[in-house]
Amino acid sequence: MVMAAVGWTTADAQTLVLHFSDGTLLNIEMNTKFRMMNIGDRIFVTMPDGEQVEYSRDDIRMLTYEGVATGSGDVNGDGNVDVADIASVIDIMAGHQASQGSFTNCPNANHPHKIDLGLPSGTKWACCNVGALMPEAYGDMFAWGETRMRNEVYSWTTYTHCEGSYDTCHDLGMNIAKTAYDAATVNWHSPWRMPTFDQYRELYDNTTAVWTKQNGINGVKFTGKNGGSIFLPAAGIIWNDMVVESRGELGCYWSATIDQNYSYRAIYLYLSNSAPYKRLSYREIAYGQSVRAVAE
């Protein structure tokens, strides 16, 4: 299941009003703790009394707070009306800019955060995997260029971007970052994107990697020269099966970059419990692997 979820308290903020296309309004009063989640184009809001409201993102016409209209529901201008827009409004209302700022370590439960590892390019890494609700959660597994986790066997027969075999792969380009094939961009929207090979290389060269446990989950912690760190759980891999294998033993993270010589392979980061715990390598693109996003 691919989903993004966020929880907020509108403390110190004004009432948030969501305006729907049928003319109805949803008022979220001051100091209300609520949770919002989107699955595909459906958005679910759970209020403190447990009442859940469900709607399509196409139904939101406008967001207002303190009587100020945002113009349309598309607050962040990415072409979609969804949880990310509401997060932007809440940030403005609450007087903080969590969605824009970066941190050296994941600061609270409003994931994903941009983590600053002091990298030369200024690239920020997400604190958690796409599909995960916390940093050590495994999140979803994706075949390369797919943007949803499939509840079926992962193989060349089922892979979306080929005709049933490794030698019939569709040309998705050399770099799928920020395209319709980017699982980070599609699920989390701009500025999130899959890391390129160069960005993984930069992470590889400018951080130390240690196999460790976070809240009981095995994985690799990358620490930058500025003390910033991210944890990548050993989420395993799916191949010729519906079941994820090697959970707790391997981490396999796709880059956005295809193998220049073999179009049925892409570059990925391999993590395991033997030093140096990290390796950049190639993997057949029909495998199900994790995606960790970056923001520029």
In the complex, the residues that contact Zn ion under the rule CB under 5 A are: 106, 111, 113, 127
Taking the complex as a whole, how short is the minimal distance between the CB of residue 111 and Zn ion, in angstroms?
4
- Least distance CB 252 / Zn ion (angstroms): 22
Nearer to Zn ion, 132 or 238 (CB): 132
Instruction: Please state the closest distance from residue 112 (CB atom) to Zn ion, in A.
Output: 6
Nearer to Zn ion, 107 or 173 (CB): 107
Closer Cβ to Zn ion, 129 or 255, answer by number:
129
Secondary structure letter of residue 79 according to DSSP:
S
> Could you give the count of Cα atoms lying within 13 Å of 285 in the half-sphere of its Cβ?
31
Residue spans of beta strands (DSSP E) within 66-174: 68-69, 102-103, 114-116, 124-129
DSSP state at residue 139? -
User: Beta-carbon neighbour count of residue 294 at 10 Å?
Assistant: 25
* C-beta of 111 vs 283, nearer to Zn ion: 111
- Whichever of 6 and 176 has its CB closer to Zn ion, that residue is 6
d(CA 9, CA 91): 11
ω into residue 112 within 30 of 0, thus cis? Answer: yes
Closest approach of Zn ion to the CB of residue 250, in Å: 23
CB of 83 to Zn ion, least distance (A): 15
Min separation Cβ 258 and Zn ion, Å: 30
Is 125 or 144 the residue whose CB approaches Zn ion more closely? 125
Q: Which is nearer to Zn ion, 64 or 102 (CB)?
A: 102
Rounded Cα–Cα distance for residues 272 and 163 (Å): 32
Helix, strand and coil percent figures for the chain, each rounded to 5: 10, 35, 50
In Å, how far are 5, 14, 43, 58, 289 from 37, measured between CA atoms? 4, 21, 6, 15, 23
* Least distance to Zn ion, CB of residue 180, Å: 26
Under the phi-then-psi rule, with left for phi > 0, alpha for psi from -120 to 50, and beta for the rest, what region is 47? beta
* b/e code 23-43 from CB counts within 10 Å (16+ = b): eeeeebeeebebebbbeeeeb
Least distance (Å) between residue 128 CB and Zn ion:
6
One-letter identity of residue 289: Q
Q: Which residues does residue 155 pair with via DSSP β-bridges, in sequence order?
A: none
Nearer to Zn ion, 18 or 106 (CB): 106
